[in-house]
Amino acid sequence: MIKIVLSGCCGKMGKIITECSKQFNNLEIVAGIDKFPTEIGYPVFKSADEMNVEYDVLLDFSRADALEGLLNLTEKTKKPFVICSTGFSEQQLDLINEKSKSLPLFKSANMSLGINLINSLLKKVAPMLYGNYDIEIIEKHHNQKVDAPSGTAVLLADTIKNSLKDETKYVYGRVGNCKREQNEIGIHAIRGGSIVGDHDVIFAGTGEVIELTHKAISREVFAIGALKACEYMGSITQPGLYDMNDVIGLD
C-alpha cells in the first residue's frame, strides 16, 4: 500500500482526489496539508512543518506559494514529491530543477493523458508546419483560476518553441495597431464561469486551419492522473525530475 500525504486536500481538487483515491486498491491518503482544514476523513495539518505522519509519496495540488515548505518536508523525509500545482515563478522553477538533483521529484503542468499525448504530437507537427502556418494557443478556465496563462498553455508553447530551429517569441493577447509577425506564438487566456479547462493549438495557414483541441469535461481526469503519478513515484528512489511521459511511457 502506497501511503499519500495530500497538500491542498480541502480545496476543490483535493476533495476530488480524495474521492477518486477510493478507486485505487494500492493507494491510501493518510494525511493532508491545508491552510484552511476541514473534516475530510484523515488528519489535516495547517502546514508542512506540522505534518508528522509517515508516508510514501507527497502529492501537492494547492498553490505555488506552498512549494518551499513542501520541499523542506521532502528534504527531511527523502520521499518522492509529486508537484501538480502551477503558476511557479522562474526562481521557483529553478529551485525545483536544483532540488531534483538530490530528490525524487515529479512535475507536470497537466495531469491529463490527452494533454500529454497532444504535447507529444506537437513535437513532430510543429516543425513540419512552422513557416507556412501561424501558431496561436487559446486556453479557457473557470473564473477562480489565479494564474494566467495556464501552466498547460505554457507547457504546449514551450514544446512548440523548443521543437523549432528558428527563434520565436511569445505574444500574450493582442492590443494596439501592428501586424502579426511570422515568428510569434500567440498565447491567449480566457477566464469565466466554471470552465474546467479547454486548450486549443491553432495552426492557421493560407486556405486552411489545423486545430488540436483538448477539453476537460471533469476535474476527475486530473485527479486520476495525479494518483497514477503517485503509483509510479511510489517505487522511485533515485533523484531526478520525472513527468507524465514517464508515467504513461511516451518516451
Question: To 5 degrees, how large is the angle CA 229–CA 16–CA 59?
Answer: 35
Q: Is 35 known to sit in a ligand binding site? A: yes
Q: Per the annotation, does 85 bind a ligand?
A: yes
Cell 529551485, residue?
A: 95
Is 197 known as a binding-site position? Answer: no
**Sheet strands (E) in 87-155:** 104-107, 134-141
Integer Cα distance of 84 and 70 in angstroms: 12
Q: Pairing state of beta strands 81-83 and 134-141?
A: unpaired
Q: Is 230 annotated as a binding residue?
A: no
Dist CA 53 CA 61 (whole Å): 18
Q: Is 108 annotated as a binding residue?
A: yes
Q: Active site includes 141?
A: yes
Answer yes or no: is 119 a known binding residue.
Answer: no
Query: Residue 111, annotated ligand binder?
Result: yes
Neighbours of 131 (CB within 10 A): 11
Give the containing element (helix H, strand E) for 169. strand 169-172
Count CA atoms closer than 13 A to 225's CA, side-chain side: 27
Instruction: Tell me whether residue 18 is annotated as binding.
Output: no
Residue 211 pairs in a beta bridge with 202
Judge whether 178 is annotated as a binding position.
no
Task: Establish whether 1 is an annotated binding residue.
Answer: no
Q: Is residue 43 within 8 Å of 53, Cβ to Cβ? A: yes
Residue 152 assigned ligand-binding role: yes
Q: Which of 141, 188, 214, 228 is catalytic?
A: 141
> 12 a known binding residue?
yes
Catalytic-labelled residue, pool 3, 15, 99, 145: 145
CB 64 within 8 Å of CB 87: yes
Residues making up the binding site:
8-13, 34-35, 84-86, 108-111, 142, 151-152
Residues annotated as catalytic (active site), given as ranges: 141, 145
- Which residues are known binding-site members for NADP(+)? 35
Binding site membership for (S)-2,3,4,5-tetrahydrodipicolinate: which residues?
142, 151-152
